[in-house]
A = this chain, B = another copy of it.
Amino acid sequence: MSKTIAFTEIAKHATKDDCWVAIHGKVYDVTAFLEEHPGGAGVIMAYAGKDATSGFQPIHNTDILDLLPENCLQGQAEPSAKEASKHQPEKKDHEKAYKVMDQQQLPEAPYGKPPLDQMLNMMDFEAVARQTMKKEGWGYYSSGGDDEITLRENHAAFQRIWLRPRIMVDVSEVNTSTTMLGTKTSLPLYITATALGRLADPEGEVVLTRAAAKENIIQMCPTLASNSLDEMVSARSRDQTQWYQLYVNKNRHLTEKIVKRAEAGGMKALFITVDAPALGRREKDMRNKFAATAPSEMKDGQVNRQQGTARAISTFIDPSLSWKDVEWFKKITGMPIILKGIQTGEDAILAFKHGVAGIVVSNHGGRQLDTARSGIEILPEVMDALKSVDAVGKIQVFVDGGIRRGSDIFKALALGANGVGLGRPFLYAMASYGQEGVEKAIQLLREELEMTMRLMGTPTLADIKREMVDAKCLDMHFVPSPKDHLFEAIYEPMRGPKL
């Protein structure tokens, strides 16, 4: 492993049958892995015999290299190459970083975005990100399963919940702080785990870590982070709380290694994703891939090319995960275990009976099963189920998906949640304004939640009650009958006075 290999030597291994690449100063023989690469062999072949760091880094964290068989590692790349990779941005520098990352195939970010203080709500960040992010990153973050009906339903469902404000309550002081899984936090919300943070910021998830620290909220660190676990741990400030989100690997030894490393790194809870035995079909993301591929390469037989970023990272997830595994997890870690992705009352009861510390009611941000119900719709069913086995208060319940407003947080708490997770809004804030953007996003949510509490007559979170929301239409799915085109076409709409 200490052998140093010259780039002239590496360049000799540049064919499908003998393919070496250098990544972060190490040289790997990836020949056997070429066909297994979920993103297709072509993506690697573009770097065959060369330094592949610039292509590797925006997508993968370095932990993923551990998954390669040991004999792949050929030695260290010669210093010059190492230096070259040092030119990759280590510090935040938006303009420069994007240029370095993009210089090969991606278009430059459009010029000119509004000043940060013009961001009034979560939607504003998304609007800026949609314009300023690279197509690939936007496609990966913004896409959902199949027709993206669940993706949009997640937010739409909140609008079937209406508020019943109480008046004449002293709201001079409003307090949004609470405790989640034993941690005091300034808001009943956490940054949930999302993959590939470097598509938003060249520094990756550590930007979220720093913003969470500044605003005193909890961050859930993802398995599929662009940053390594160590980077996220190192970025943590004193007294800051991080949780760890786990995709269970088919190789349980590796899974155990990861969990133990997370616990050793000071993670305070283990969120096991249970709604992704496979990663969903995200067609918007898949269609992006086609656009990015030149037609001349079309006949290459690369059957996986069209699967998009999402599915390129899913082959390590274990589809055989089942209830009996919970016991095993309890044995290998002292962290409280939370199941992320509960979607029925029945499974909430099972989770409780298997002794987990909490559950996240979630459909994975609408990225998995289309026409699955929204988390907020499922929440009352879950709370009723837990009540039926006298579990309320004995297990923590979180919900994520579609939360964009302080009033959405209020509604989730009223329906029984201990806290809520947000993912995409912080990615969009990070993509458009870096750490400052994420802090501003948290501040806006804080301001909106405080305003909602003040206008609802609830000075503390404990004052929020079920009867303060009218959710009777929450589980009604209204699909308008098809339009009567002929009839509508001949109707002449009313018009106001001519000006």
Q: List residues of A whose CB falls within 8 A of some B CB.
A: 110, 112-115, 117-121, 123-124, 126-128, 130-131, 142, 146-149, 151-153, 155-172, 274-278, 280-281, 283-284, 286-287, 290-291, 295, 298, 303, 306, 319-323, 325-326, 339, 341-344, 346-347, 350, 368-373, 404-405, 407, 447-448, 451-452, 454-456, 470, 472-473, 475-487, 489-499
Contacts and interface: CB of A to CB of B under 8 A. Distances in A.
**How many subunits of this chain does the assembly comprise?**
4
A494 B485 contact: yes
Contact of A162 (B118, B161, B472, B477): B477
Contacts of A484: 147, 149, 155-156, 159
A120 B286 contact: yes
A456 B496 CA distance: 26
A404 B487 CA distance: 9
A131 B497 CA distance: 12
26 contacts: A114-B498, A117-B306, A121-B146, A121-B283, A123-B496, A152-B491, A159-B479, A163-B369, A165-B344, A166-B343, A166-B344, A167-B341, A167-B342, A167-B343, A168-B322, A168-B339, A168-B350, A170-B322, A172-B319, A281-B451, A284-B494, A372-B455, A473-B479, A478-B480, A485-B495, A489-B496
Contacts of A473: 476-479
A369 B114 CA distance: 27
Contacts of A171: 277-278, 319-320
A305 to B, nearest CB: 8
B280 A490 contact: no
Contacts of A161: 371
A373 B455 contact: no
Given A114-B499, A147-B405, A165-B369, 6 more contacts: A118-B497, A120-B287, A123-B486, A127-B486, A127-B499, A151-B482
A407 B486 contact: no
A484 B478 CA distance: 13
A298 B114 CA distance: 11
B306 A489 contact: no
